[in-house]
Amino acid sequence: MKENDFIYESNQLIDGKVKWIAPSNIALVKYWGKKSVQLPENPSISFTLSDCVTETEVIYFTKKRKKEFVDFDYLFEGNPKKEFDSKIELFFKRIYKYVPWVRNFYFQINSKNSFPHSSGIASSASSMASLSLCLMDIEKSLFPKMKLDYFNNKASFLSRLGSGSASRSIKGPICIWGSSPLLKNSNDYYAVEFGRNIHDVFKSYRDTILIIDDKKKKISSSMGHELMKNHPFSNQRIIQSNKNLDSLMHILKTGDLEGFIKIVELEALSLHALMMTSNPSYILIKPETLYVINKIIDFREITKTPICFTLDAGPNLHLLYPENFSSKVLDFINSELIDHCKNRKFILDKVGEGAKKI
């Protein structure tokens, strides 16, 4: 599908209410750097999560007079969040071309997370995905003949304009965002499902998030992406990510856990190496992050447990492991790692199937 395929107009005006939940996701091959507005420099692939979700309700009312801007009020967990208003306003400005009917409505947006903010989980991904799905649900009521593939693709397309990683939070269990010659229907505008040939071990993979630090990041992901424009290693990073994606796509089909561990950890460390070598440079990992990483590696080598770590753009660790090793890994967390977590907190999650209407 092309960009212009996502533009709909309607004169049918109704009031109503919709509610969706969308999960976060954890990238295995990371996207870092943008070509233009919300278009990735390199393809990425992620596990869709199951329990770390954002629930968004949109109540919409028709306006008597059309305006060339979008009217909305936003509540997060029942309270106004002015710092979020600017993000949503920018989102509406970006998507206006593709959903021009929004000017006909006033929106009351209510959202809440099943996980703490600043916990190392991509809340922007789940929140923008759930909001986009609500808008697509409204659009579908205006255009009832809309097909499911179009609905999902456009939801991903709109989500991307709010948060790049949000494009991967519509479907599951594994999604790819970014054009790659390795996957026929992949593109930069919306994410696509990896396919039907996923090895069974990855369909129930576990993700336990260790909360090393719960403070707001000093450098936002948007600023980090911007610093990649003149990064001395940007071209090499594009080559590396495509090579790792190629390897990982094969691994996800064969169930090669040793290969999976190598690629996933390499990607996590490469992401943070890019931050440390940008200009200006910055460090988001904490001393406890490095300590826990070494404990994970030692545990894996001693016990032969196929556990690995990854990181988003922050200090908190995602432990990835097969379902049948859950009890062993939880014993390890409780005996060796929990004292290094902020307030002894960690979050249990697993690979999921994507967003759903409620």
Nearest to 347 by CA among 22, 26, 21, 20: 26
Q: Residue 67: its pLDDT value, please?
A: 66
What is the pLDDT, as a whole number, of residue 183? 86
Q: Write down the pLDDT at residue 37.
A: 86
Residue 269 CB partners (closer than 8 Å, separation 6+):
none
| Average pLDDT over the chain, rounded to an integer | 93
pLDDT at 117: 64
Q: How far apart are the first and last CA of the chain?
A: 28
Which residues, 6 or more positions from 152, have their beta carbon under 8 angstroms from its beta carbon?
A: 170, 171
H/E stretch holding 270 reads helix 257-276
Topology adopted by domain 200-350: Alpha-Beta Plaits (3.30.70)
Name the residue ranges covered by the structural domains of the chain.
Answer: 3-197, 200-350
Extract the residue ranges of the chain whose pLDDT is less than 70.
1-2, 5, 7-13, 66-68, 117-120, 122
Q: Which residues pair with 10 in a beta bridge?
A: none
Q: What is the pLDDT of residue 215?
A: 87
Which tens digit of pLDDT belongs to each residue from 73-130?
Answer: 999 999 998 888 999 999 999 999 999 999 989 999 999 999 876 555 768 999 999 9
Q: Under CATH, what is the fold of the domain 3-197?
A: Ribosomal Protein S5; domain 2 (3.30.230)
Instruction: Copy the structure tokens of residue 89.
Output: 């306003």
Of 207, 268, 315, nearest to 28 by C-alpha is 268
